Structure 1
Amino acid sequence: MMSSLLVGVGLTGFGWIISSFTPVVTKIINQMIKTTGINLPVVDTGWQTSALASFHSTVGISFFIVGLILEIILFLIGYTKVFFPTNLWQNWGFMIWGTVAYTVTHNFWLSLGLSIFMMLYILMVAEIQADRWSDYYKISNGTTSALHNMENAVPAIILDPLWNLFGFNKIHLTPEVLKKRLGVFGEPTFIGAILGIIIGLLGNISRLSSLDAWGQILTFGVQLAGVMTIFPLVAHLFGSAFKPLTDEITEHYIRKNTGKTTESDAIKSKKRWFLAVDDGVGYGESATIISGVILIPIIVILAFILPGNKTIPVVDLVSIPFMIESMVAVYRGNILKILCTATIWLGIGLYASSYMAPMYSASVSQYGVAATTGAALIVSFNVMARPLNALIFAAWVSGNPLWIGLTIVIYGFFQILLRTRRPQIWAYLKKMSDKNKPDYVNVVKKEQTSNRTI
């Protein structure tokens, strides 16, 4: 009962902060766009349009029922270690892709099949990174499995060896190190104020001689500092709501079944499973929100300079911390790696959302979700700026059995690999994650000394 109450309190807190912050940051971004002269035909109107359209469509509602049943069955038979129904709301992420596919193909079964396939592949990716997410965000045996979050784990894992080759793991740009080296200047509150002033300057670059402009700049600095300060407190409260449940999983499936409690044994345990929690738990974590805010002007600049891009992100820019949680977990809060991977992947995502925009606009219009911007085309940057999802979508809506079959074969290969090599995969990701620790060299030396002693 207490967990349920705290979940409600946490979600209410998130709603208050985001609903207050979104119009403020959107106003600054619109000013920045006006100042730079960006004029792109596809406007980001936020993820809310996706959710509304999903629940208005026949394919969406059908998946909501069929998907829920499948998620429960797949968990009970051990096909997946992630219990998704505890995060039932996030099913809209799968529903919207099926909804858009139906608008394009008018094929109900193919569209429903696409939503189911998206669910299967995301559950697989969620399980691959679950140990890292649980460890980093301090939610024992908890993970997020939202579609808009999980896709980013793929480039994070692939690019990690490259970043280490460049020595990024030795550049310890994490909130803890910043706080230790910079003192009060490394606190999220102060960083938020500085970032707020920088973004405010970019939004008022053409009218810096105006007192009103400087009032807005300084006000936004304080507002962003407030978000950076308050959000972690609400996130901690929200995370504590799931703690009794996730701790019970730890107690029952590790301590009682294996008699061991070490991290190594948790990785090897065949009985371990994860509770899907809302990704709001990680939004306010320091590395997550700092990286997300830094990425706001970066993404706007990319939208302006990338040739052939048609999308201008606006409303969903405030959702970037949600979009990068899996990257943050894989990189153990290494902000440099997060920014590099997110810049590349979300940059490609601009092209994905430009490709999806005509189909997305037709879909949300068909299901009664009107665009409030007056733009010819709309999109949700949070939902559609997904290169891998867009690639899968293109394969399925083509109706070509070879392309659809290829996506299934690739999924089957990695699913078998996960089923047979899960402990090794988790151990590898832990090893790569540990390389971002400031004392990684000392940890390795201790392990080598211990091995020689044995």
Structure 2
Amino acid sequence: MEILNFILGLGSTVMLPIIIFVFGLIMRAGFSKSFKSGVTIGIGFTGINLVITLLTDQLGPVAQAMTERLGLDLQVIDIGWPAMSSISWAWAAAGLMIPIGLVINFVMLTLKLTKTMNVDIWNYWQFAFVGYAVTTVSGSLPMGIIAASALSILALILADYTQPFVEKFFGMPGISFPHLTALGFLPLVVPLNWLIDKIPGLNKLNANPETIRKRFGIFGEPMSMGLIIGLALGLLGGQKIDAILQLAITMAAVMYLMPKMVAILMEGLIPISEAAREFMAKHFGDREIFIGLDAAVSLGEPSVIAVGLLLVPITILLAIVLPGNKLLPFADLAVIPFIVCLITAMSKGNVIRALIVGTVVMACVLLMATNLAPIETQMALTAGIKMPAGASQIGNLDRANLISWLFVKVFSLFG
């Protein structure tokens, strides 16, 4: 556990470059190319994390101000995914999930049950979360391990299914997202898209960054969209004029900088991806292999960020009016772009459609987060985590997705 904690303590910005470097050597990309790719990817992820931190630091206080202005009395505090990941790694079997996940991935690749090679090892904590939750409810450690393992299998299958959307919409050939934050609502997103296609009028509405840019000129540029969204959020939060202007510039910076950071990351990925294709072609014929990554690489698409930012006030409004919701959205509001990245891709960048689907999804997120809160609170107490001041229960938006929720509910029945 000490070794595992040390490795996990390095964070994804260090773990992923090491993994990519080793992977590049295995794929015969050569030392210099593998080394350069690993470091470049680390730089890209560091840049992405800096922009996300900037987004979180600015959104959090505004969201809190919005909820205070509205006089909300919500008992479940959103502690955010970083805190929940730490709680998940405190599970007794968490250390087993990395070797189990790697073995499962290797076996499935060998048997041609998946095309995805999941190098996003940091996010194996999402499997551990479900395992810990199942163990907490059922009292069975083996059942928790089985649930977490089954979820890792499903993530690879769904990553394969959504890969064409990743490749076509985000322009990332050979990349897939075995990332449950992005994949978690696929069982709902697919039928919702089908339903919208069947509704006359609604199925004709279309607004993507390109059409917005053509219609509104400079005000349709991503940075201008960020500026406008920032101004709107600041006004809704009742901020002073200086704070509103600072938020507006920050949101504009997020919209402008995120694609640049993702471009750096992709610069490092392309040589490794090409080496992987050549290696697979040499040893397995023309077999296609995808590199499974964190959905953070999708945040360079302006429509994803735009939909994510627009859903912030919508989510807070839903928290107010939605019957049964007890969660105060706060720390994980910056996760919304991760939740909607594949929704936006499957909507072909149509901001209107993605907002409609995203609103339904965020309503479900709030209800599922409320439902999981007692379990997550017990997990935190077992892990020795103290409750935040004024909170009777804790929760988070990141883990409150349909697939994870169903796995916790179904596997907790056994034990």
- Counterpart secondary structure, 2:120: helix
Quote the offset at 1:278 in angstroms: 2.1
**Alpha-carbon deviation of 1:168?**
4.2
For 2:185 and 2:324, locate their aligned partners in 1 and report how far apart those are by CA, in whole Å.
23
Aligned to 1:334: 350
Residues 206 and 353 of structure 2 are in contact (CA less than 8 Å); yes or no, is this contact kept in structure 1?
A: no
Which residue of 370, 388, 396 maps to 1:354? 370
Identity level (%):
25
Quick one: which of 387, 399, 406 aligns to 2:414? 399
Per the alignment, residue 294 of structure 1 pairs with 310
Contact 1:133 1:330 in 2 (8 A): no
1:30 matched residue in structure 2: 64
Structure 1 residue ranges without an equivalent (≥5): 205-211, 259-268, 401-454
- Aligned residue among 295, 300, 304 for 2:320: 304
Matched, 1:386 2:413: no
1:119 maps to 2:152 = yes
2:171 counterpart residue number: 138
CA contact 1:59–1:102 (8 Å) conserved in 2: no
- Taking the TM superposition and a 5 Å limit, the aligned residue runs for 1:211-360 are 213-249=240-276, 271-360=287-376
* Structure-1 separation of matches of 2:282 and 2:98: 35
Matched residue, 2:86: 52
Name the CA shift for 1:256/1:333 in 2 (closer, same or farther; >3 Å): farther
Q: Report the Cα distance in structure 1 between the residues aligned to 2:49 and 2:413, rounded to whole angstroms.
A: 39
In the alignment, is the contact (CA less than 8 A) between 1:136 and 1:329 conserved in 2? yes
Q: Which letter does structure 2 place at the counterpart of 1:213?
A: K
1:439 matched to which residue of 2?
none
Q: Which has more radius of gyration? A: 1
Deviations 1:125-158 (A, max 9, x none): 1111111112211111101111111122332222
Aligned pairs, how many?
380
TM-score computed with the length of structure 2 as normaliser? 0.87
Counterparts in 2 of 1:297 and 1:218: CA distance versus 1, 3 Å:
same
1:350 Cα deviation from its structure 2 partner: 1.1
Amino acid of the structure 1 residue aligned with 2:413: S
Aligned-pair CA distance for 1:249: 4.6
Partners in 2 of 1:112 and 1:133 — Cα distance? 30
1:222 and 1:38 map into 2 onto residues whose CA distance is 28
1:339-394 Cα deviation digits (max 9, x unpaired)? 111111220121111110011011022113334444111111111x2133212311
Deviation at 1:5, TM superposition (A): 0.9
What residue identity is the alignment partner of 1:196? G
For structure 2, the 5+ residue unaligned runs are 1-34
Secondary structure of the 1:83 match is: strand
Three-state SS of the structure 2 residue aligned to 1:378 is: strand
- In 2, the alpha carbon distance for the partners of 1:245 and 1:137 equals 18
Task: Give me the whole-angstrom Cα distance separating, in 2, the residues matched to 1:64 and 1:90.
Answer: 10
8 Å CA contact 1:179–1:185 kept in 2: the answer is: yes
CA distance in structure 1 between the partners assigned to 2:353 and 2:339 by the alignment: 15
1:87 aligned to 109, 112, 120, which one? Answer: 120
Distance 1:240 1:157 in 2: 32
In 2, the alpha carbon distance for the partners of 1:240 and 1:373 equals: 44
Instruction: Tell me, yes or no, if the aligned pair for 2:159 and 2:292 is still in contact at 8 Å.
Output: no
| Contact persistence 2:170–2:345 (CA under 8 A) | yes
Q: CA deviation at 1:252?
A: 6.4
What secondary structure does 2:291 align onto? strand
Q: Residues 149-189 of structure 1, C-alpha deviation per residue, up to 9 Å, x if partnerless?
A: 11223322222222122344532311111112211110011
C-alpha distance in 1 between matches for 2:198 and 2:280 = 38
Q: Deviations over 1:267-315 (max 9, x none)?
A: xx8x222110221111231010000000000001001001111111111
Aligned-partner Cα distance in 1 for 2:97–2:278: 34
Cα deviation, residue 119, structure 1: 1.3
Q: In the TM superposition, what whole-angstrom CA distance separates every residue of 1:77-121 from its partner, at most 9, and x where no partner exists?
A: 21111111x111111111111112212222011111110111122
Tell me the equivalent position of 1:263: none
> Partner of 1:430 in structure 2?
none
